A and B are shown apart, each in its own frame.
Chain A
Amino acid sequence: MSKAYLSIQQVDKTFTRGSASTNVLKSISLDVDKGEYISIIGHSGCGKSTLLNIVAGLTDATTGVVFLEGEVVDQPGPDRAVVFQNHSLLPWLTVYENVALAVDKVFRKTRSKAERHEWTMRNLELVHMGHAKDKRPAEISGGMKQRVGIARALAMEPKVLLLDEPFGALDALTRAHLQDQVMQIHQTLGNTVLMITHDVDEAVLLSDRIVMLTNGPSARIGEVLDVPLARPRRRLDLVTDPTYLRCRSAVLKFLYERNRFVEAA
């Protein structure tokens, strides 16, 4: 057993339908330290989301184990809160109720009603959504929904925050704005984050390490890149930063030279 905070060990995933079986992930091993921000990048269909779902416990690995603080992950739980790609807010609940559902479930026994209310509001304020607490998801924009999704995940006080292409469905300006906010939250709270993305700039800007997956089927970890940029990072300063450019081109080379997207795959 590894001493790492979050440890993914020799994870294989094979989907079987009838007699046909597809090997999606092949011996994935990764150690993540507490407080680290890790991005997993790869072409679509390479199994990034499957890997995240295995860590979340939503999907079972065919072989291999995931340890979190030395304990085996075998089911989903609030210690590994997920921010889903399409926000997954419950449309019949208000913004406040969506977050409160998580807070009430996780802290029912440990915190008083007033404390839970206060905590719900604190998390909404953290993503600057306190003003919209009584709105329903249908009444707010895509970026706002995703912010509420992040607030809901943060409110569970997860050991690991799992982000599944959290900004994928947003326009470029909103995405940049949200990336800055997530960076700021990571800076303040020191969460351990595992983020799936297909955006090279996003990966370099946010991550401490970038895990690059080879093309599926049987995707492996092709390369792990350290991003030795000091925090706090500022988007505008980085545009000309040589380290940033080096990291960026390393990821691009991996994705577009050595692992070009195969149309048939």
Chain B
Amino acid sequence: MSKTALKTTEAAPVAAGAGRAAVVAFPLPRPTLAETLAPKLRSVATAVVPPAIVLGLMLLVWEMLCSSPGASLPPPSQVVTDTWELIANPFYDAGGIDKGLGWHLLASLQRVALGYAFAVVFGVGLGVLVGQSQWAMRGLDPIFQVLRTVPPLAWLPLSLAAFRDGQPSAIFVIFITSVWPIIINTAVGIRNIPDDYRNVARVLRLNGFEYFHRIMIPAAAPYIFTGLRIGIGLSWLAIVAAEMLIGGVGIGFFIWDAWNSSMMSDIILALVYVGITGFLLDRIVALIANSITRGTAKS
């Protein structure tokens, strides 16, 4: 402690002298293109290089493990050569279910979009009701808590029986999977609106609608979007499983079909696409959340 204090007193006059000597007005040179780009490139590199290295190592290990003639799964090089037709033509259509992966993904995304849209509308609506009304919470919350633990696919036979068609059944499974986290998070968000905001609304005499869209929704938005993000993740999980069972066009059925024809490389390619799509869906909802809550979710 005393040592460092001594050091700083010694160093101070030197630094001050150096400071005085250095006061010379230089015109600021205009930064060149390379100078402005360098920091950006560096930040991109720090984000991209580590995962690229890890990915490369994983592919290398996989390649080595599966290169032996008796291996049950194809190595990555094999996967690429096997599926090059699929990678190169994502949107070919040879009739029936023989379509490019792009079409399969689009069909799945369409189902998710419909089911998820219903879930958002019902989930936020019911969540607001449960969050606002003590009675609705007492009545509905226990039922929600039980129903949300039912695995998505357990709903499929029931919905097939009710709708007598694969398409609406799959959409219903998406809906029922993603609606619970949306309801529960919305309700928690509404219940957690600080009394201060309610008091502001009361002093201003905001009416019901004004309170809803000026106070309630923005205040609960961080919670609501947490629910929406969990919901989109769950719906993407559920769609693959549901499509395996209902058949038709869709990435889930594509995987099942590939398994039945023992085309392991196709399955691996489909898994990569499913993973990337799920990741993108999550990022999209997160981006929307960020732009709507304007970053207040953090503060």
Contact = CB atoms under 8 A, between A and B. Distances in A.
Interface string A66-78: 0000000001111
B205 interface: yes
B22 to A, nearest CB: 33
Contacts of B219: 90, 92
Interface in B180-215: 194, 196-197, 199-200, 202-206, 210, 214-215
Interface string B210-224: 100011001101000
Contacts of B205: 75-78, 105
A90 B218 contact: yes
Contacts of B221: 92
Contacts of A75: 202, 205
Nearest to B221: A92
B200 A90 contact: yes
A80 interface: yes
Given A92-B293, A138-B296, A101 B196 contact: no
Interface residues on B, range: 20 to 34
Contacts of B299: 91, 138
B202 A58 contact: yes
B294 interface: yes
B296 A81 contact: no
Contacts of A80: 203
A100 to B, nearest CB: 11
Chain A residues touching B, majority SS: loop
A76 B219 CA distance: 21
Interface string B280-299: 00000000000001101001
B296 A136 contact: yes
B200 A56 contact: no
B244 to A, nearest CB: 42
A88 B210 contact: no
B204 A88 contact: no
B203 A82 contact: yes
Contacts of B202: 57-58, 75-76
A27 interface: no
Nearest to A77: B205
A76 B196 CA distance: 13
Nearest to A152: B200
Given A56-B203, A76-B203, A81-B203, A88 B196 contact: yes
A112 to B, nearest CB: 20
A203 B241 CA distance: 69
A86 interface: yes
A214 B235 CA distance: 60
Contacts of A76: 199, 202-203, 205
A86 B196 CA distance: 8
B298 to A, nearest CB: 9
B203 A136 contact: no
Given A91-B296, A92-B296, A136-B294, A105 B200 contact: no
A56 B201 CA distance: 13
Contacts of B197: 88, 90
B183 to A, nearest CB: 22
A81 B205 CA distance: 11
Contacts of A136: 294, 296
A75 B203 CA distance: 8
A136 B294 CA distance: 10
A84 interface: yes
Interface string B85-115: 0000000000000000000000000000000
A194 interface: no
15 contacts: A57-B202, A58-B199, A58-B202, A76-B205, A77-B203, A81-B203, A84-B199, A86-B196, A88-B197, A88-B199, A88-B200, A101-B204, A101-B214, A102-B204, A136-B294
Interface of B: 194, 196-197, 199-200, 202-206, 210, 214-215, 218-219, 221, 293-294, 296, 299
* In the A-B complex, the 8 residue pairs with the closest CB atoms: A88-B196, A92-B218, A76-B202, A138-B299, A91-B296, A76-B203, A105-B204, A92-B296
Given A80-B203, A102-B204, 14 more contacts: A56-B203, A57-B202, A75-B205, A76-B202, A76-B205, A77-B205, A86-B196, A90-B197, A90-B214, A90-B215, A91-B296, A92-B221, A105-B205, A136-B296
